[in-house]
Amino acid sequence: MQDGTKATHAGRRPMDYDGVVNPPVMHASTILYPTVEHMHRERSIRAGDAVTYGVHGTETTFALEKAIQSLEGGYRTRLQPSGLVACTLPLLAYASAGDHVLITDSAYGPTRAFCNGMLSRMGIEVEYYDPCIGGDIKNLLRPNTSVVWVESPGSWTFEVQDIPAICAEAHKTGVKVIMDNTWASPLYFKPFQHGVDVSVQAVTKYISGHSDLVMGSVTCTEEAYDTFQQAQTQTGICPSPDDVYLAMRGIRTIHVRLPHHMQSGLQVAEWLSNREEVAEVIHPALPGDPGHELWKRDFIGASSLFAFILKPEYSSPEKQAAMLNHMQLFGMGFSWGGFESLLIPIDPPKLRTATRWPNNGRAAGGVMRIHVGLEDVGDLLNDLEDGFERLRKA
């Protein structure tokens, strides 16, 4: 089956619910057992494998888990109450006191904060590495390394990582590779075909697609699943059924939304590349981008989140504010992946320790991150054009 069919059908069993197309929204803590024998039998089932208690999932959660799992391509998916929990819980599951973990220097800021805070406090040594390291990751692996964290492309700086090369080296010594796959969504990068053990999605972004909920997912290979499942059970982490239902509405159209995001994103990226005020556009799907060859090799498509660097003479905070404060269509806010366009100033060097940024010859100057939504592209370009006018005059 192709992705569009999986997105629309996976996790649905209408005939089990009187023909109703969508699974019911089950609000549940207690699950009643008809007999003592049932009770004993159900209690011996691995948590998450059957409806036994609200925390361990219901038909509602299982339906969305199935849909995400079928698109990501792993063995099992478990839902999390936010994308950040989907990042932190696998680290807790696979790293123990005394271990060493390798985290890409391009990792999502709050993932970094968790590694520097709670993970370090628990006696796990955190080391950041150059996202462009590829197979040379082997030089950083130690006997006590348990996890290599990858995020490709990074959600501020968009370096594309050589995931197959990193996985090949990590697997030689049984190290788990966990990937934050949020940028590509499960449609445009297939983590398990490239060797990843655990794939993380901020469902908040393109899967939900409507900027009205926070959720995450963790998808594992069969080999990696039990350890993760135990961490999920022991921490009691679970999402709300109403949010799961909303996210399920999102995933049913992701294969229609994503190509539109991609096309509009590329149009805006090309337009920005020709602007006098812009030094560089950072978008892996643009030929000439440092990550372009790897992106072409491994990715099926591109989402519409990217960045651009202003020339130094157009970079003052006053000039940027003149542009950003009066945008008509582009909103200024965190998160992304919804139907609406966003534009924010970002400061990537602040989040670096293992590498310097800008690197790869990238120009220095103000950096803006853009998310291109589902509006008409002509209208978006007019909004940007007016913004650049204000920036020039400021």
Ligand X SMILES: *Cc1c(COP(=O)(O)O)cnc(C)c1O
Binding site for ligand X (CB under 6 A): 82-84, 87, 108, 155, 180, 182, 202, 204-205, 214, 216, 335
Minimum CB distance to ligand X, residue 70 (Å) = 21
Pick 82 or 219: Cβ nearer ligand X? 82
Using CB atoms within 10 Å of the CB of residue 260, give its burial: 0 to 12 exposed, 13 to 18 middle, 19+ buried.
middle
Q: Is 124 helix (H, G, I), strand (E, B) or coil?
A: coil
| DSSP structure class, residue 123 | T
The neighbour count for residue 230, using CB atoms within 10 Å, is 13
Minimum CB distance to ligand X, residue 379 (Å) = 25
Centroid of chain to Cα 141: 25
Pick 79 or 170: Cβ nearer ligand X? 79
Do 97 and 124 contact (CB within 8 A), yes or no?
yes
Q: Cα dist. 235→105, 114, 158, 215, 326 in Å?
A: 28, 16, 32, 16, 44
Q: Which of 216, 297, 301 is nearest to 258 (CA)?
A: 301
Pick 155 or 355: Cβ nearer ligand X? 155
Minimum CB distance to ligand X, residue 83 (Å) = 2
Minimum CB distance to ligand X, residue 276 (Å) = 30
Closest residue by beta carbon to ligand X: 83
Pick 163 or 377: Cβ nearer ligand X? 163
Q: Which residues contact 357 (CB under 8 A, 6 or more apart)?
A: 157, 348, 349
Minimum CB distance to ligand X, residue 84 (Å) = 4
Minimum CB distance to ligand X, residue 337 (Å) = 8
Q: Given strand 76-80, what is the order of strands in its sheet?
A: 76-80, 216-220, 198-202, 176-180, 145-151, 100-104, 125-129
Minimum CB distance to ligand X, residue 200 (Å) = 7
In which element (H, E) is residue 103 found?
strand 100-104
Minimum CB distance to ligand X, residue 205 (Å) = 6
Rounded Cα distance, 166 and 196, in Å:
9
Pick 84 or 119: Cβ nearer ligand X? 84
Pick 45 or 332: Cβ nearer ligand X? 332
Dump the DSSP string for 197-208.
Answer: SEEEEETTTTTT
Minimum CB distance to ligand X, residue 328 (Å) = 25
Q: Is 307 helix (H, G, I), strand (E, B) or coil?
A: strand
- Beta-carbon-side half-sphere exposure of residue 83 (alpha carbons within 13 Å): 24
Pick 206 or 308: Cβ nearer ligand X? 206
Rounded Cα distance, 88 and 111, in Å:
7
Can you give the length of the chain in residues? 394
Pick 74 or 83: Cβ nearer ligand X? 83
CA angle 338/340/345 to nearest 5° reads 95
Pick 87 or 160: Cβ nearer ligand X? 87
